Chains A and B, each alone.
Chain A
């Protein structure tokens, strides 16, 4: 079985304070994990990816995520929120499939609001 759960549908933080967006996964395989960000009426932009190398992954725009196998988590963090971080964030896990390589499974998304 394969699934990904984003625990919060909406997170609000004040500008300059830390951001934590939570993601848990279940997988029978060693997963590849990704975080994407989507601004309104835009496609998805890759923030960072975990592919069985270092467990602490650094991404763009100051974001990072830590893969914790014991907790089956891949939470996204940023030390200090910026107004431009307000967007929808998706956690994604991949599962190998016979014909198309790896299929992506999307979380339901977390909407981040940054309060000035």
Chain B
């Protein structure tokens, strides 16, 4: 149980392109979804937290106009990297949680490798 599907797993595109990444909870309703960025050999950096039907809460230093997050349903959140540039190349990971209880783990997607040429 608690499967999170992230798509696509790998994207290569030209500078200036906008890229959309989808995160779906397959067998549970995700009240909260998280988007992370991970640089090589480093830990995960939280970019934003989104609750279904609400605006996302962005971490300090993350441009909300650059990284658009939509969480329109309890099973789907999307991250759109707008006008992507080479410095946006990274590994992006989403996670989902079914409730806000303290003992509830986050369930992670397999990540999206984004490469901007």
Contact = CB atoms under 8 A, between A and B. Distances in A.
Contact of A96 (B42, B51, B102): B102
Contact of A102 (B102, B107, B113): B102
A106 B110 contact: no
Contacts of A43: 4, 6, 93, 95, 108-111
A46 B99 CA distance: 16
Given A100-B51, A106-B43, A106-B44, A45 B108 contact: yes
Contact of A41 (B4, B103, B113): B113
A3 interface: no
A94 B102 contact: yes
Contacts of B60: none
A113 to B, nearest CB: 13
Contacts of B32: 100-101
A42 B110 contact: yes
Nearest to B100: A101
Q: Taking chain A's interface residues, is the majority helix, strand, or loop, or is none over half, making it mixed?
A: strand
Given A43-B93, A44-B93, A90-B43, A102 B109 contact: no
Contact of A100 (B44, B49, B105): B49
Contacts of B106: 104
Nearest to A53: B103
Given A96-B102, A106-B43, A101 B93 contact: no
> Which has the most chain A C-beta neighbours within 10 Å: B6, B97, B103, B109?
B103
Contacts of A90: 43-44
B43 A104 contact: no
B105 A34 contact: yes
A49 B105 contact: yes
A51 interface: yes
Interface of A: 32, 34, 36, 41-46, 49, 51-52, 90, 94, 96, 99-104, 106-109, 111
Chain A to chain B: the 6 pairs with minimum beta-carbon distance, closest first: A101-B100, A51-B103, A43-B108, A44-B108, A43-B110, A100-B49
